Protein backbone atom coordinates (compact mmCIF):
# COMPACT_ATOMS: atom_id res chain seq x y z
CA UNK A 1 0.00 0.00 0.00
CA UNK A 2 1.47 3.34 -1.06
CA UNK A 3 1.42 6.61 0.86
CA UNK A 4 -1.30 7.84 -1.49
CA UNK A 5 -3.32 4.70 -0.73
CA UNK A 6 -2.95 5.28 3.00
CA UNK A 7 -4.31 8.80 2.54
CA UNK A 8 -7.07 7.91 0.07
CA UNK A 9 -8.41 5.05 2.20
CA UNK A 10 -7.64 6.58 5.60
CA UNK A 11 -11.30 6.72 6.67
CA UNK A 12 -11.57 2.97 6.13
CA UNK A 13 -8.26 2.33 7.84
CA UNK A 14 -9.42 4.28 10.89
CA UNK A 15 -12.24 1.77 11.38
CA UNK A 16 -11.07 -0.91 13.79
CA UNK A 17 -13.06 -3.55 11.89
CA UNK A 18 -11.24 -2.78 8.63
CA UNK A 19 -7.83 -1.27 9.38
CA UNK A 20 -4.87 -1.71 7.04
CA UNK A 21 -5.41 -5.46 6.75
CA UNK A 22 -9.04 -5.13 5.66
CA UNK A 23 -8.24 -2.37 3.20
CA UNK A 24 -5.48 -4.47 1.71
CA UNK A 25 -7.99 -7.28 1.22
CA UNK A 26 -10.16 -4.85 -0.73
CA UNK A 27 -7.21 -3.78 -2.86
CA UNK A 28 -6.49 -7.44 -3.64
CA UNK A 29 -10.13 -8.36 -4.29
CA UNK A 30 -11.98 -9.11 -7.52
CA UNK A 31 -15.68 -8.37 -8.03
CA UNK A 32 -18.20 -8.97 -10.79
CA UNK A 33 -21.09 -6.50 -11.19
CA UNK A 34 -23.87 -7.75 -13.46
CA UNK A 35 -25.86 -4.74 -14.62
CA UNK A 36 -24.72 -1.11 -14.89
CA UNK A 37 -28.05 0.67 -14.48
CA UNK A 38 -29.93 1.94 -11.44
CA UNK A 39 -28.59 -0.59 -8.93
CA UNK A 40 -25.26 -1.10 -10.66
CA UNK A 41 -24.42 2.61 -10.64
CA UNK A 42 -23.98 3.05 -6.86
CA UNK A 43 -22.45 -0.42 -6.57
CA UNK A 44 -19.81 0.38 -9.21
CA UNK A 45 -19.01 3.81 -7.79
CA UNK A 46 -18.71 2.67 -4.17
CA UNK A 47 -16.62 -0.39 -5.01
CA UNK A 48 -14.31 1.78 -7.09
CA UNK A 49 -14.05 4.53 -4.48
CA UNK A 50 -13.38 1.92 -1.79
CA UNK A 51 -10.45 0.50 -3.73
CA UNK A 52 -11.68 -2.93 -4.83
CA UNK A 53 -8.71 -3.86 -6.99
CA UNK A 54 -10.30 -5.49 -10.02
CA UNK A 55 -13.90 -4.96 -11.05
CA UNK A 56 -15.66 -6.50 -14.03
CA UNK A 57 -18.84 -4.87 -15.36
CA UNK A 58 -21.29 -6.79 -17.55
CA UNK A 59 -24.20 -5.17 -19.39
CA UNK A 60 -25.40 -5.17 -22.99
CA UNK A 61 -27.55 -2.02 -22.83
CA UNK A 62 -26.83 1.55 -23.93
CA UNK A 63 -27.55 4.76 -22.01
CA UNK A 64 -30.85 6.45 -22.84
CA UNK A 65 -32.38 9.69 -21.62
CA UNK A 66 -34.91 7.83 -19.46
CA UNK A 67 -32.03 6.23 -17.52
CA UNK A 68 -30.67 9.52 -16.21
CA UNK A 69 -33.49 9.95 -13.69
CA UNK A 70 -31.85 7.30 -11.48
CA UNK A 71 -28.71 5.78 -13.05
CA UNK A 72 -26.12 8.07 -11.48
CA UNK A 73 -23.05 6.53 -13.14
CA UNK A 74 -24.15 8.13 -16.43
CA UNK A 75 -24.81 11.67 -17.64
CA UNK A 76 -25.83 13.55 -20.78
CA UNK A 77 -22.46 12.95 -22.39
CA UNK A 78 -23.06 9.20 -22.04
CA UNK A 79 -26.20 9.05 -24.19
CA UNK A 80 -26.15 6.14 -26.66
CA UNK A 81 -22.87 4.82 -25.20
CA UNK A 82 -22.68 1.27 -23.81
CA UNK A 83 -23.50 1.48 -20.12
CA UNK A 84 -20.42 -0.49 -19.12
CA UNK A 85 -18.14 1.96 -20.93
CA UNK A 86 -19.88 4.98 -19.41
CA UNK A 87 -19.71 3.50 -15.91
CA UNK A 88 -16.09 2.42 -16.35
CA UNK A 89 -15.11 5.96 -17.35
CA UNK A 90 -16.80 7.38 -14.25
CA UNK A 91 -15.08 4.80 -12.04
CA UNK A 92 -11.67 5.59 -13.55
CA UNK A 93 -12.22 9.30 -12.97
CA UNK A 94 -13.15 8.59 -9.36
CA UNK A 95 -10.29 6.19 -8.66
CA UNK A 96 -7.68 5.51 -11.36
CA UNK A 97 -6.06 2.91 -9.10
CA UNK A 98 -8.71 0.26 -9.73
CA UNK A 99 -8.70 -2.00 -12.78
CA UNK A 100 -12.06 -2.09 -14.55
CA UNK A 101 -13.06 -4.52 -17.30
CA UNK A 102 -16.11 -3.41 -19.24
CA UNK A 103 -17.86 -6.29 -21.00
CA UNK A 104 -20.51 -4.97 -23.36
CA UNK A 105 -22.28 -8.32 -23.58
CA UNK A 106 -25.37 -10.12 -22.40
CA UNK A 107 -24.97 -12.02 -19.15
CA UNK A 108 -25.78 -15.46 -20.53
CA UNK A 109 -24.82 -18.81 -19.03
CA UNK A 110 -21.59 -19.13 -21.00
CA UNK A 111 -20.31 -15.69 -20.03
CA UNK A 112 -21.23 -16.16 -16.37
CA UNK A 113 -19.62 -19.57 -16.16
CA UNK A 114 -16.43 -18.01 -17.50
CA UNK A 115 -16.44 -14.89 -15.32
CA UNK A 116 -17.85 -15.99 -11.96
CA UNK A 117 -14.93 -18.33 -11.05
CA UNK A 118 -12.49 -15.45 -11.58
CA UNK A 119 -13.91 -13.24 -8.84
CA UNK A 120 -14.43 -13.24 -5.07
CA UNK A 121 -17.96 -11.85 -5.03
CA UNK A 122 -20.81 -11.33 -7.52
CA UNK A 123 -23.28 -8.43 -7.28
CA UNK A 124 -26.50 -8.95 -9.21
CA UNK A 125 -27.88 -5.58 -10.32
CA UNK A 126 -30.12 -6.89 -13.10
CA UNK A 127 -33.84 -6.31 -13.54
CA UNK A 128 -35.24 -9.64 -14.70
CA UNK A 129 -35.75 -13.07 -13.17
CA UNK A 130 -34.22 -15.00 -16.06
CA UNK A 131 -30.82 -13.34 -15.65
CA UNK A 132 -31.00 -13.50 -11.86
CA UNK A 133 -31.45 -17.25 -12.07
CA UNK A 134 -28.51 -17.57 -14.45
CA UNK A 135 -26.33 -15.53 -12.09
CA UNK A 136 -27.47 -17.58 -9.09
CA UNK A 137 -26.82 -20.89 -10.86
CA UNK A 138 -23.29 -19.82 -11.77
CA UNK A 139 -22.61 -18.69 -8.18
CA UNK A 140 -23.86 -22.00 -6.80
CA UNK A 141 -21.82 -23.96 -9.34
CA UNK A 142 -18.61 -22.10 -8.50
CA UNK A 143 -19.29 -21.50 -4.76
CA UNK A 144 -19.25 -17.71 -4.92
CA UNK A 145 -21.13 -15.27 -2.69
CA UNK A 146 -23.97 -13.45 -4.41
CA UNK A 147 -25.32 -10.05 -3.35
CA UNK A 148 -28.74 -9.65 -4.94
CA UNK A 149 -30.95 -6.57 -5.02
CA UNK A 150 -34.13 -5.44 -6.73
CA UNK A 151 -36.19 -2.25 -6.86
CA UNK A 152 -39.42 -1.24 -8.57
CA UNK A 153 -41.87 1.53 -7.81
CA UNK A 154 -41.38 2.47 -4.14
CA UNK A 155 -40.31 -1.05 -3.12
CA UNK A 156 -36.89 -2.64 -2.78
CA UNK A 157 -35.30 -5.80 -1.47
CA UNK A 158 -31.82 -7.14 -0.81
CA UNK A 159 -30.16 -10.30 0.42
CA UNK A 160 -26.89 -12.23 0.31
CA UNK A 161 -26.85 -15.79 -0.98
CA UNK A 162 -23.62 -17.32 0.26
CA UNK A 163 -23.01 -20.44 -1.79
CA UNK A 164 -19.72 -21.02 0.00
CA UNK A 165 -21.81 -22.66 2.73
CA UNK A 166 -23.97 -25.71 2.05
CA UNK A 167 -26.26 -24.57 4.86
CA UNK A 168 -27.23 -21.28 3.23
CA UNK A 169 -30.14 -20.88 0.79
CA UNK A 170 -29.62 -19.77 -2.79
CA UNK A 171 -31.79 -17.36 -4.76
CA UNK A 172 -33.76 -20.27 -6.25
CA UNK A 173 -34.68 -21.54 -2.78
CA UNK A 174 -36.76 -18.41 -2.29
CA UNK A 175 -37.74 -17.73 -5.91
CA UNK A 176 -37.89 -21.12 -7.71
CA UNK A 177 -37.35 -20.91 -11.47
CA UNK A 178 -40.60 -22.78 -12.09
CA UNK A 179 -42.68 -20.48 -9.85
CA UNK A 180 -43.77 -18.29 -12.75
CA UNK A 181 -42.84 -14.89 -11.28
CA UNK A 182 -43.49 -12.16 -13.81
CA UNK A 183 -41.00 -9.39 -14.45
CA UNK A 184 -42.23 -5.85 -13.85
CA UNK A 185 -40.44 -3.28 -15.98
CA UNK A 186 -39.60 0.27 -14.94
CA UNK A 187 -40.95 1.36 -18.32
CA UNK A 188 -44.46 0.30 -17.31
CA UNK A 189 -44.44 0.60 -13.49
CA UNK A 190 -41.90 3.36 -12.90
CA UNK A 191 -39.34 3.53 -10.12
CA UNK A 192 -38.70 6.10 -7.40
CA UNK A 193 -35.20 7.36 -8.21
CA UNK A 194 -33.63 7.12 -4.71
CA UNK A 195 -34.92 3.56 -4.28
CA UNK A 196 -32.24 2.11 -6.56
CA UNK A 197 -29.68 4.26 -4.75
CA UNK A 198 -30.71 2.90 -1.35
CA UNK A 199 -30.70 -0.73 -2.42
CA UNK A 200 -27.59 -0.38 -4.58
CA UNK A 201 -25.67 1.30 -1.76
CA UNK A 202 -26.63 -1.55 0.55
CA UNK A 203 -25.47 -4.07 -2.06
CA UNK A 204 -22.13 -2.26 -2.17
CA UNK A 205 -21.93 -2.37 1.63
CA UNK A 206 -22.60 -6.11 1.74
CA UNK A 207 -20.06 -6.78 -1.01
CA UNK A 208 -17.39 -4.72 0.76
CA UNK A 209 -18.09 -6.50 4.06
CA UNK A 210 -17.67 -9.87 2.37
CA UNK A 211 -14.46 -8.84 0.65
CA UNK A 212 -12.92 -7.21 3.72
CA UNK A 213 -14.07 -10.01 6.02
CA UNK A 214 -15.88 -7.72 8.46
CA UNK A 215 -19.28 -7.71 10.10
CA UNK A 216 -22.08 -10.22 9.57
CA UNK A 217 -23.33 -10.71 6.00
CA UNK A 218 -27.01 -10.50 5.17
CA UNK A 219 -27.15 -14.23 4.48
CA UNK A 220 -30.31 -16.15 5.32
CA UNK A 221 -32.30 -12.92 5.60
CA UNK A 222 -34.30 -10.97 3.05
CA UNK A 223 -34.72 -7.26 3.76
CA UNK A 224 -37.65 -5.51 2.09
CA UNK A 225 -38.18 -1.75 2.02
CA UNK A 226 -41.52 0.04 1.64
CA UNK A 227 -40.33 3.43 0.44
CA UNK A 228 -43.74 5.05 0.86
CA UNK A 229 -43.52 4.63 4.64
CA UNK A 230 -39.72 4.16 4.70
CA UNK A 231 -40.25 0.99 6.68
CA UNK A 232 -38.10 -2.12 6.59
CA UNK A 233 -39.32 -5.67 7.09
CA UNK A 234 -37.26 -8.84 7.29
CA UNK A 235 -37.94 -12.50 6.69
CA UNK A 236 -35.69 -15.41 7.55
CA UNK A 237 -34.83 -17.73 4.68
CA UNK A 238 -34.14 -21.42 4.87
CA UNK A 239 -32.38 -23.64 2.38
CA UNK A 240 -34.84 -25.71 0.39
CA UNK A 241 -33.65 -29.35 0.47
CA UNK A 242 -35.55 -29.91 -2.79
CA UNK A 243 -34.11 -26.86 -4.56
CA UNK A 244 -33.45 -27.66 -8.19
CA UNK A 245 -30.30 -25.52 -8.15
CA UNK A 246 -28.44 -26.06 -4.89
CA UNK A 247 -29.81 -29.33 -3.44
CA UNK A 248 -27.38 -31.44 -5.44
Which sequence positions are flagged as catalytic?
186
Q: How far apart are CA 216 and CA 221, in angstroms?
A: 11
How open is the CA angle 199-216-147, to the nearest 5 degrees?
A: 40
Q: How far apart are CA 29 and CA 39, in angstroms?
A: 21
- Going by C-alpha positions, the residue among 38, 57, 39, 55 that lies closest to residue 47 is 55
- Going by C-alpha positions, the residue among 135, 179, 192, 186 that lies closest to residue 161 is 135
Q: How far apart are CA 246 and CA 2, in angstroms?
A: 42
Strand-pairing partners, residue 34, are 58, 124
In the DSSP assignment, the letter for residue 153 is: B
Strand arrangement, sheet containing 54-59: 99-104, 54-59, 30-34, 121-124, 145-152, 155-162, 221-226, 231-236
User: How far does CA 39 lie from the centroid of its chain?
Assistant: 7
Strand-pairing partners, residue 101, are 56
Amino acid sequence: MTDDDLLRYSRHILLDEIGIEGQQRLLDAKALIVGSGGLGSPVALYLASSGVGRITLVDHDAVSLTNLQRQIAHDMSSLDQPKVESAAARMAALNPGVQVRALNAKADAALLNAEVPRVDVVIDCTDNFATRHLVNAACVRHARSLVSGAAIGFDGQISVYDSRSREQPCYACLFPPESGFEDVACATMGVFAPMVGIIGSMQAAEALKLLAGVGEPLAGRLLMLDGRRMQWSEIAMQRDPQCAVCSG
